[in-house]
Amino acid sequence: MLVLAVVILFCFQNQDRVILHFLLIPVENYHWFEIPRVPLPLFSVVLCSIFLGIFIGLMGEVYRRFQLKKTLRQKQKTIERLEREMQSLRGPDLGESSFLKKES
């Protein structure tokens, strides 16, 4: 509730209109590439920038999570392969040692 109150207060205090410019080059010479210059309230520009930053950060985190899951699956397959190889080298006479037994 406190955050919502601060956001609403911020919106009421920042009603000034601003015009955004997106390109580094002047667009007056390029009439076919006309960007409409619409004045926007300052609070909407700031809030959209914050939400866009959060969205980009979340997308980076999702990508990182998928990479970690992929690495985990690869490591688990390697562990399973090495455990099978260890069992085959140990032979049928010797049982699994106590420190390698899986706990239930």
Tell me the pLDDT tens digit for each residue of 31-74: 556 667 788 888 888 888 889 999 999 999 999 999 999 999 99
In this prediction, residue 79 carries a pLDDT of 95
Domain span at residue 51 reads: 12-17+38-87
The total of structural domains in the chain comes to 1
Is the pLDDT at 104 greater than 60, yes or no? no
Kindly state whether residue 98 falls inside one of the protein's structural domains. Answer: no
In this prediction, residue 4 carries a pLDDT of 83
Cα within 13 Å of Cα(8), Cβ side:
5
Kindly state whether residue 104 falls inside one of the protein's structural domains. Answer: no
CA distances from 33 to 60, 66, 89 (A): 32, 39, 71
Is the pLDDT at 95 greater than 70, yes or no? no
pTM reported for the whole predicted model: 0.59
Q: Confirm if 17 and 42 have CB atoms less than 8 A apart.
A: yes
pLDDT averaged over every residue in the chain: 82
